[in-house]
């Protein structure tokens, strides 16, 4: 009876961890990473479209991204979107590809990114705790309905707490790794 609830909780918590990891990929470090500009919106024939749907993005060097736009008529729009993004990038086009040099981060900017990493980590922890709370309510409801015994419910809540702690530990490990990457010169 309780096992499906615990599996459900574990699945939801791992999705929260995965979402957090995907958000971390968009935070800039000193190295070039295609995920930095993947989600930049480009006006494509009047419709805002993510850059990764309009172009191939690669990182041939540690401090350079190369954007190959599929529709060459959109080179200007892509370049303008890159320039106006909040990443502080200065793209250069040669007519075939757009080269985006990744400038080194200032100490102040690094500290801002570390704060952003910590903020996103806290959001992920809150999401995980919300899953725990919801599943605890489901178990309490089942106990009140007489579907499960009280001791079984207590054991399950202990297992749920362990699952929660493991998920929070994963978030913390990812956040620490990203903070280290951001502060690395």
pTM of the model: 0.76
Average pLDDT, the chain: 89
22-to-72, 80, 142 alpha-carbon distances in Å? 29, 25, 35
Cα 130 to chain centroid, rounded: 18
Segments making up each domain of the chain, as ranges: 3-25+106-183, 34-101
Segment 53-108, tens digit of pLDDT: 999 999 898 888 999 999 888 899 999 998 888 777 889 988 889 999 888 778 88
Q: Residue 11, class by beta-carbon neighbours within 10 Å (0-12 exposed, 13-18 middle, 19+ buried)? A: exposed
> What confidence score (pLDDT) does residue 98 get?
92
The residue behind tokens 């757009």 is 98
DSSP string, 43-100: EETTEEEEHHHHEEEEEEETTEEEEEESSGGGHHHHHHHHHHSTT----EE-SS-EEE
**Which CATH code for domain 3-25+106-183?**
1.10.132.20
pLDDT at 147 over 70: yes
Which pair of structure tokens corresponds to residue 92?
């250069």
Q: For domain 34-101, which architecture applies? A: 2-Layer Sandwich (3.30)
What is the pLDDT, as a whole number, of residue 113? 87
**Torsional sign, CA 119, 121, 123, 126:** negative
| Residues 78, 67 contacting (CB under 8 angstroms) | yes
- Give the Cα separation of 37 and 14 in Å (integer): 25
């Amino acid at each position: 009876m309780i096992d499906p609830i615990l599996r459900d909780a574990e699945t939801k918590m791992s999705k929260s961890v995965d979402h957090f990891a995907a958000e971390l990929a968009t935070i800039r470090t000193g190295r070039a990473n295609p995920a930095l500009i993947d989600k930049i919106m480009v006006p494509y024939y009047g419709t805002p479209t993510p850059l990764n749907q309009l172009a191939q993005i690669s990182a041939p060097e540690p401090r350079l991204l190369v954007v190959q736009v599929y529709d060459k008529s959109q080179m200007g729009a892509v370049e303008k979107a890159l320039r106006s993004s909040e990443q502080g990038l200065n793209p250069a086009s040669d007519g075939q590809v757009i080269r985006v040099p990744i400038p080194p981060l200032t100490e102040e900017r690094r500290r801002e990114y570390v704060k952003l990493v910590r903020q996103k980590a806290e959001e992920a922890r809150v999401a995980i705790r919300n899953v725990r709370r919801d599943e605890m309510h489901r178990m309490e409801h089942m106990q009140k309905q007489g579907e499960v015994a009280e001791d079984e419910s207590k054991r399950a809540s202990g297992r749920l707490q362990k699952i929660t702690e493991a998920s929070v530990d994963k978030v913390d490990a990812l956040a620490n790794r990203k903070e280290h990457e951001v502060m690395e010169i």
